[in-house]
Amino acid sequence: MIEFNEFSFRYREGAEPVVRDITLSIPDGCFVGITGAAGSGKSTLTYAINGIIPHCYPGDFYGSVTVEGCDTVDTSLTDLSRLVGSVCQDIDSQMVSTVVEDEILYGLENFAVPREEIPARVDEALASMGIADLRDRTIDSLSGGQKQKVAVASVLALHPKVLVLDEPTAELDPASSVTVFDLLARYAREHGTTVVVVEQKIALLSDYADMLVIVDEGRIRFADTPDAVLAHSEELLALGVNVPRSTTLMNALSAQGLYAGPTVRNVAGAAAALKEVLA
Amino acid sequence: MIEFKNVSASYDGELAVLNDVSFTVNNGDFVAFVGTNGAGKSTTMRLVNGLLKPTSGEVLIDGVPTTSLKTSELARRIGFLFQNPDRQICCNTVREELMFGFKALGEEGSEAEARVDAMIERFGFDADAEPYLLNRGTRQLLALASIIVLAPPTIILDEPTTGLDFRECVKVMDVVRELNENGTTVIMVCHDMEVVGDFARRVIAMTAGRVVADGPTFEVLRDGRVLKEAHILPPQVTEVSLILGREAACPAAVAEANTVAQMVTAVAQACDREVEDVEVEAID
């Protein structure tokens, strides 16, 4: 369980808090998508989960954030990193090794995982992202998309309870983005891992997330199922948050009195609804 | 005009990353290159701007091979927007960044100053701001502005909307659309099929270093063979209409709709209903 309790944070150099009065409970095993306009405070929320705030970025911290019952202020960054695995937005800043296998080994060795467990963990992590064939490749020979998969695999190898990812598919083509989300969702289901993803690709989030969190100017405006959140698509667009084109289509039909059903959030839903409209 | 004539390319001299690629981009075109990671799209762009030389075949800019054009000549003809603006931005202030291209070309002077001033006004930049302290969308706009201030006849955009939020995306693409309407040739590498469908008039689909389709945007994006071969997902409304065309007895207008407005009009006609103006608050 991740719990934000009236959490506000102002970076030391900032004039105003970047997030304010955040109260949110994320149950174990939940797949959470966080989105919002640039500068809305999305990444700050993830920093509060993995402890980068306040341990690396000092500032005024109000309220509390707990992960698995551990207060992120009182728990050391080392101990938090055993609970929370993080994948940065800038993948190159995360890579420390020259070869893919070494990148996976780096975290395992630093966390003192028993030697006999390591080979199986490496195999499992590579397989979970579908990159077993990249094991011996040098990092600098990989495409942006391949690097993103390596970064995720190196974190999954540590078996974190919580996985925090900041725009993990930014450099991926649509098919690979779907693959990564498929793999993340499957991994989360099989291991009971809580996944928190910051992402601009709303169509992808709507399809995979159990909970969609919309952040605007440091405050949570919506935190609910994708269907419930997308029912407010006019407000989302006003906040600078896109909605899936399928949702826009069905809303436009609704505005013309041609559709009166529930909110649609993907292609399959739109096609099914239109078959009924045209029947 | 940009011509690729049977172009192959390799980074290490052995493994071909581009294989016998031929196409022509005419002046004023708006072309999107689509395909999976590693399909050869970015390599193609590097061949256009001379960062990479072909191992065989020819790349011609206005009839001149890139191999015989100086870097400065190529820079005058082609502006290149990198996917990550931080790989492009290198100066301490917005004004210096906008002047950088003129300095590199040895073309500083009152005309350059006037064009930089106009660009600052047009985009509403703070001339003295430090580029790295701007947010991602503004940095992307600055990188774009620092290219178009040089008024190249062709711009290449490598994933221009990656990492941008909805508003920033609209802002960047509105600028690109306006440039194209005023005659600038636009070549865009893009994974966001909604952006491709909304803006590009022509799509070149690539896979494994080859061109598998080249044609009007929705002709390519509705072709099942191409979608499968290039692992492309079409824009959502196109995908809906393709499904309806396959699985439901529906009018041709529904089965062929590619935009929200087209689909709403088609459904209204099918239901014998009048349709009011369709307003869509999306990049449409």
Find the mean pLDDT for residues B198-224: 96
CB A197 within 8 A of CB A165: yes
Question: Over the stretch B63-121, which tens digit does the pLDDT of each residue have?
Answer: 999 989 888 888 889 999 987 788 888 899 999 999 999 988 888 889 999 999 998 99
pLDDT over 50 at B201, yes or no = yes
Best residue of B82, B135, B191 to probe chain A, by most A CBs closer than 10 Å: B191
Alpha carbons A202 and A239: distance in angstroms, whole number: 14
CATH of domain B2-233: 3.40.50.300
Chain region(s) in chain B for CATH 3.40.50.300: 2-233
pLDDT, residue A148, reads 84
pLDDT-derived band at B281, boundaries 50, 70, 90: very low
Half-sphere exposure of B251 (CA within 13 A, CB side): 16
Question: Over the stretch A179-238, which tens digit does the pLDDT of each residue have?
Answer: 889 888 988 888 899 999 999 889 999 999 999 999 999 999 999 999 999 999 889 988
ipTM of the complex: 0.87
Query: Does the beta carbon of A58 lie under 8 angstroms from any beta carbon of chain B?
Result: no
Find the mean pLDDT for residues B178-189: 95
Alpha carbons B283 and A202: distance in angstroms, whole number: 14
pLDDT, residue B87, reads 81
Best residue of B33, B165, B193, B254 to probe chain A, by most A CBs closer than 10 Å: B165
pLDDT over 90 at B278, yes or no = no
Best residue of B194, B240, B284 to probe chain A, by most A CBs closer than 10 Å: B240
Question: Cβ separation of B240 and A167 shorter than 8 Å?
Answer: no
Give the residue from B214, B177, B180 showing the smallest Cα distance to B29.
Answer: B180
A2-225 CATH fold? Rossmann fold (3.40.50)
Is pTM beyond 0.95? Reply is: no
pLDDT, residue B215, reads 97
User: Quick one: tokens of B230?
Assistant: 């290039």
Question: Over the stretch A233-264, which tens digit does the pLDDT of each residue have?
Answer: 889 988 989 999 999 999 999 988 999 999 99
Mean pLDDT, chain B, whole residue set: 90
Beta strands in chain B (DSSP E): 2-10, 16-25, 30-34, 56-61, 64-65, 78-81, 154-158, 185-189, 202-207, 210-216
pLDDT-derived band at B279, boundaries 50, 70, 90: low
Question: Cβ separation of A237 and B191 shorter than 8 Å?
Answer: no
Alpha carbons A95 and A253: distance in angstroms, whole number: 47
Alpha carbons A144 and A90: distance in angstroms, whole number: 10
Half-sphere exposure of B34 (CA within 13 A, CB side): 35
pLDDT, residue A14, reads 86
Percent of chain A scoring above 90 in pLDDT: 71
pLDDT-derived band at A172, boundaries 50, 70, 90: confident
pLDDT over 60 at A155, yes or no = yes
Question: Cβ separation of A172 and B191 shorter than 8 Å?
Answer: yes
Question: Cβ separation of B36 and A253 shorter than 8 Å?
Answer: no
pLDDT, residue B49, reads 85
**E strand or H helix at A170, and its extent?**
none
Alpha carbons B91 and B79: distance in angstroms, whole number: 18
pLDDT-derived band at B280, boundaries 50, 70, 90: low
What residues contact residue B268 under an 8 Å CB cut-off, 6+ apart?
A256, A258, B274, B275
What residues contact residue B105 under an 8 Å CB cut-off, 6+ apart?
B72, B75, B76, B150
CB B21 within 8 A of CB B209: yes
Question: Over the stretch B233-267, which tens digit does the pLDDT of each residue have?
Answer: 999 999 999 999 998 788 999 999 999 999 999 99
pLDDT over 60 at B37, yes or no = yes
DSSP-derived 3-state class of residue B16: strand
Mean pLDDT, chain A, whole residue set: 92
Query: Does the beta carbon of A167 lie under 8 angstroms from any beta carbon of chain B?
Result: yes
pLDDT-derived band at B283, boundaries 50, 70, 90: very low
Find the mean pLDDT for residues B169-184: 92
The partner residue sitting opposite B281, judged by closest CB among A203, A237, A244, is: A237
